[in-house]
Amino acid sequence: MGYELYYWPMIPGRGEPVRLTFAFGAIPYRDVAREEGIAVLQAFDAGEREEGHPFAPPYLVIEEDGDRTLHWQSAHLCDRIARREGLVDESNASRAMSLVLTLADLMDEAHDSHHPLATSLYYEDQKEAAQVAAEQFRTARIPKFLGFFEAHASEEGTLLGQNTSHVDAILWHVLEGLHYAFPKAMAGYAGRWPKVERLHERTPGHPSLAAYLASEDRIAFNEDGVFRRYPELDG
């Protein structure tokens, strides 16, 4: 069985939860656009690939026994990998999927805090609207989301039982993104969600994750991705 991931090679973005799921399970895969360039993504968008015509990256092609199947939507890809590779069992697979979908919602709202009018417009074209959106995101939405994860976390700082999971890795990434984009706001929330903070501290110590995070495969946050640092949006 082989995995081919197709996502933008210059940002973590919505492909990073998938990369982290692979990394957590120490599962080999090809990050194809990083090897071959974005033309492979454009071929999918143009409907030129025999595997099919998905909506938007990330895409995942799974090859098994000569058959190639195409999948998309980040949370679905994480669920697909986790189930196939035994990262979850049937007793917690549905819970894991629900948590990852909620993290996908949080990532979408983080993106919309700096692009509230249209993704096709530059940030500079919607700065005033972004000020309003970012204030609401900082003061209302971050507490709602992180309060939710605090309620679902164990005392050890994990989301699926006592052991670290791929879901913890994805929440860790989102927390890193929030600290990158809103360092002042997140500093002001220090101590408010102790179990979430425990998860943030312990998760990168997982052996396979530590290896990935220390490697060149980990793409740094930047101002082309979901989480962007605009100081004027940090209050």
Residue 65 has a pLDDT of 86
What percent of the chain is modeled with pLDDT above 70? 100
**What is the value of pTM for the model shown?**
0.96
Distance from C-alpha of 37 to C-alpha of 233, rounded to nearest angstrom: 33
Tell me if 68 is assigned to some domain.
no
Tell me if 213 is assigned to some domain.
no
Q: Which residue has the tokens 């983080």?
A: 110
pLDDT band at 188 (very low <50, low <70, confident <90, very high): very high
Q: Which of 235, 231, 99, 73 is nearest to 159 (CA)?
A: 99
Tell me if 78 is assigned to some domain.
no
Residue 1 has a pLDDT of 65
71, 134, 174, 221, 233 from 131: Cα distances, Å: 36, 5, 21, 21, 6
pLDDT band at 66 (very low <50, low <70, confident <90, very high): confident
Q: At what angle do helices 194-202 and 166-181 cross, to 10 degrees?
A: 100
Tell me if 227 is assigned to some domain.
no
Phi, psi of 4 (to 5 degrees): -125, 115
Tell me if 118 is assigned to some domain.
yes
Low-confidence winner among 47-51, 139-143, 214-218 (lowest mean pLDDT): 47-51
Tell me if 19 is assigned to some domain.
no
What percent of the chain is modeled with pLDDT above 90? 96
Taking the CA of residue 83 as centre, how many other CA atoms within 13 Å lie in the half-sphere pointing to its CB?
14
Cβ–Cβ under 8 Å, residues 3 and 25: no
Q: What domain range includes position 136?
A: 93-206
190-202 in b/e burial notation, b at 16+ Cβ within 10 A? Answer: eeebebbbbbbee
Where residue 152 sits, what CATH number does that domain have? 1.20.1050.10
Residues ≥6 apart with Cβ < 8 Å to 197 = 157, 190, 191
Q: What is the pLDDT of residues 100-142, one digit of tens each?
A: 999 999 999 999 999 999 999 999 999 999 999 999 999 999 9
Residue 72 has a pLDDT of 96
Domain count for the chain, please give it: 1
The DSSP annotation for 19-55 comes to HHHHHHTT---EEHHHHH-THHHHHHHTT--TT---S
Distance from C-alpha of 12 to C-alpha of 126, rounded to nearest angstrom: 23
Handedness of CA 84, 89, 93, 94 (dihedral sign): positive
Distance from C-alpha of 160 to C-alpha of 139, rounded to nearest angstrom: 28
Tell me if 140 is assigned to some domain.
yes
Q: What is the pLDDT of residues 3-46, one digit of tens each?
A: 999 999 999 999 999 999 999 999 999 999 999 999 999 999 99
Tell me if 188 is assigned to some domain.
yes
CB atoms within 10 A of CB 67: 7
